[in-house]
A and B are shown apart, each in its own frame.
Chain A
Amino acid sequence: MTVQGNYPSPNITRIPLTVGVYYDEALKDFAYIEYTDNGKEEYRVLSGPSHMALFGSVLPAMFDRVVLLPDPAQAGTAGVDLVFTPAIEEFQLALPQKTRLDAYEVWVKYNMRLTAPDGGYIADWVLTAYGKTSLETMRSAESGINDATISALRDLGSNFALSFTDIPDVRDWLNSNQ
């Protein structure tokens, strides 16, 4: 199944900078596979495109300009002030039939990296996101997994947008470069 949903644009103050964003193949094609107790593939959750859709909605509200970079090496010629590279480190799915809880739950751990156009370090931090949706009589497992993942991605978007300028290394870099 491919996660499908829409993400609203955040209501926050824009940072007057141009950010380049690079999605590596691991993020673009990210899929989580849930196995049955006897090791068979039960669900394959493709969420890479949904992650890109989320950042596609959040980043233009956070920065004056967003440039999609096909290769981080092109950052120097793309006229960007900084390069953002998100990565998914861990994805966990909890199904009601296994947890005995009345909810589908998704937990994701991310590594967020900011570098200068020349590749120099700016910041590197971990963000976690959590989403759940309740078990309902007429809801399919696919729908429950999809909604819990969307909820986790919204949590990521809200946490990322609101905490961005509070990350110590980001704050220091912004103070010295704005």
Chain B
Amino acid sequence: MKAVFGLLFAMLASACTTTTIDEFRQGETGIESHESIVLLGRRQGSNYETRSEFVQCVGDRMNRGGDSINVIPEQEFVDAMFPWFEPRTAPMRSTDMQLLMDQPQIAAKIADYGIRYIVWLDGQTETSNRVGSISCTIGPGGGGCFGFGSWEDDSNFDARVWDVNTFVNVGTINADATGQSYLPAIVIPIPLIARVEANACSSLANQLKQFVYGN
């Protein structure tokens, strides 16, 4: 029994996540209390799109705490700016923002929201190295599962920060989180899930906060 618990503890300890944050600063930043930012997911690619749940997760975390930053909800912003931030029409370069701000209605709405920075989030979580198998049986006397499964998750997200006042990309932050998950089944399956995307979200949000404040 001790050996089983030892094995479970070892797997629990190893079902953790490694997160690496890289920051590349290209300009000065800073934000006033009356200013806000908006986080937008890139969705122009055909093979993947940045999940809105991840964008919301980063926004919620930036909106928390004593050093919180006012984050405009993504869908509210995209609807208010329609049709300029749809997957096919969204500006791809920070200099494109200058052309967009020539539209009086867009400039007025950006000013109304008090937006200082537009942050583009681009990335996804991929699962690889699935191994193992679990079989379950059920009979008159009861049922149960036996086996073992394991897989690796890798979340890689870029955050590009555009300064709305200067139309310059002031920096890029990359969050890369990896983790191994395990699913041993001894009568009942016991999921030991590495919270890879959640860790990428919290690490990226913390770094983005510091970046925007200019720390």
Contact = CB atoms under 8 A, between A and B. Distances in A.
Interface residues of B, number: 16
A143 to B, nearest CB: 14
Contact of B83 (A132, A134, A157): A157
Contacts of B81: 11
Interface string A37-61: 0000000000000000000000000
A156 to B, nearest CB: 10
A11 B88 contact: no
B214 interface: no
A11 B101 CA distance: 12
A132 B52 CA distance: 13
B72 interface: no
Given A11-B82, A158-B83, A134 B88 contact: no
A7 B51 CA distance: 21
B67 interface: no
A134 B125 CA distance: 13
A116 B154 CA distance: 57
A11 B84 contact: yes
Given A8-B79, A11-B81, A11-B105, A155 B49 contact: no
Given A155-B87, A159-B88, A10 B51 contact: no
A11 B109 contact: yes
A162 B49 contact: no
A103 B109 CA distance: 33
A161 B103 CA distance: 14
Most buried by A among B81, B82, B87, B89: B82
Contacts of A161: 83
Contacts of A7: 82
Interface in A1-15: 7-12
Contacts of B106: 11
A130 to B, nearest CB: 8
A12 B49 CA distance: 27
B88 A155 contact: yes
Nearest to A9: B82
A152 B103 CA distance: 25
A154 B87 CA distance: 10
27 contacts: A7-B82, A8-B80, A9-B82, A10-B82, A10-B83, A11-B81, A11-B83, A11-B84, A11-B103, A11-B105, A11-B109, A132-B49, A134-B49, A154-B82, A154-B83, A155-B86, A155-B87, A155-B88, A157-B82, A157-B83, A158-B82, A158-B88, A158-B89, A159-B89, A161-B83, A162-B83, A162-B89
Give 9 closest A-B pairs by Cβ, nearest first: A158-B83, A8-B82, A11-B105, A8-B79, A158-B86, A10-B83, A158-B89, A161-B83, A10-B82
Given A155-B87, A159-B89, 20 more contacts: A7-B82, A8-B80, A10-B83, A11-B81, A11-B103, A11-B106, A12-B103, A132-B49, A134-B51, A154-B83, A155-B86, A155-B88, A157-B83, A158-B82, A158-B83, A158-B88, A159-B88, A161-B83, A162-B83, A162-B89
Interface of B: 49, 51, 79-84, 86-89, 103, 105-106, 109
